[in-house]
Amino acid sequence: MKNRLRVLRAENRWSQADLAEKLGVSRQAVNAIETGKHDPSLTLAFALAETFGQSIEEIFCPKEQNN
Amino acid sequence: MKNRLRVLRAENRWSQADLAEKLGVSRQAVNAIETGKHDPSLTLAFALAETFGQSIEEIFCPKEQNN
DNA sequence: TTAATATGTAATGTTAGCCTTACATTATGT
DNA sequence: ACATAATGTAAGGCTAACATTACATATTAA
């Protein structure tokens, strides 16, 4: 699933490790989500939404959107 | 995580099996989510949101909300 | 350039979210 | 009352989403 994490993280000037710490997950988990290897759990998606002050729908895009 | 699935399903007069079929998951998966045994995957949460025409945030409540 | 930081990824393990099958119980309708 | 539909749950299996540790490769800063 596509997401805007890299951009949101850049806007806040947070490293993957910074974000991981805020979320209480491993840096590898953040990396895997950002690079599209995993989808986050719903709980983690909520945590990301709260961290960035945006809705889950604003951060994640479930549709295959062929570009 | 708390959710409003039972109510939303009742409003639409759908059985768990009906909803499961619309979502493309098993009836047991719907039951487990409804009864709080599992959280849905983010993908399934998006599908539920679309099915009920509501946002994920309107359907699910991640906070422990004591009562 | 060198050192520090950031990112990507691999290996291995655990758990949670799905599956199927099956059965018990509860609710609904005739 | 009886048959059907709906719900709850259990067992057993599979995979994805986490974890930890470790290492390689950027990237940044002094």
Number of domains observed in the structure of chain B: 1
Rounded CA gap, B13 and A10, in Å?
A: 46
Residue with the bigger pLDDT between B64 and A31: it is A31
Could you give the percent of chain A with pLDDT greater than 70?
Answer: 94
**What is the tens place of the pLDDT at every residue in B11-61?**
999 999 999 999 999 999 999 999 999 999 999 999 999 999 999 999 999
Rounded CA gap, A62 and A52, in Å?
A: 19
**What is the tens place of the pLDDT at every residue in A36-66?**
999 999 999 999 999 999 999 999 999 864 4
Classify residue B64: in a domain, yes or no. no
Neighboring chain B residues of A61 at a CB cutoff of 8 Å: none
Classify residue A64: in a domain, yes or no. no
Q: Across chain A, what does the average pLDDT equal?
A: 94
CA distance between the termini of chain B: 13
- Residue B63: pLDDT band with limits 50, 70, 90: confident
Separation of B37 CA and D10 C1' (Å)? 14
- Facing B56 at nearest CB: one of A39, A47, A56: A56
Rounded CA gap, B26 and B28, in Å?
A: 5
Instruction: Phi first, then psi: give them for residue B40, nearest 5 degrees.
Output: -70, 160
Inform me whether the pLDDT recorded for B67 exceeds 80.
no
Classify residue B49: in a domain, yes or no. yes
- Domain range for residue B51? 2-58
Residue with the bigger pLDDT between A3 and B64: it is A3
CATH of the domain at A54: 1.10.260.40
Token output for B57: 């945030």
Classify residue A67: in a domain, yes or no. no
pLDDT given at position A64:
64
How many CA atoms lie within 13 Å of B43's alpha carbon, on the beta-carbon side? 9
Classify residue A32: in a domain, yes or no. yes
Classify residue A53: in a domain, yes or no. yes
CB contact under 8 A, A42 and B43: no
**What are the CA-CA distances from residue A49 to residues A22, A57, A59, B34, B60 (Å)?**
12, 9, 7, 23, 13
- Facing A60 at nearest CB: one of B1, B42, B47: B42
CB atoms within 10 A of CB B20: 17
Classify residue A65: in a domain, yes or no. no
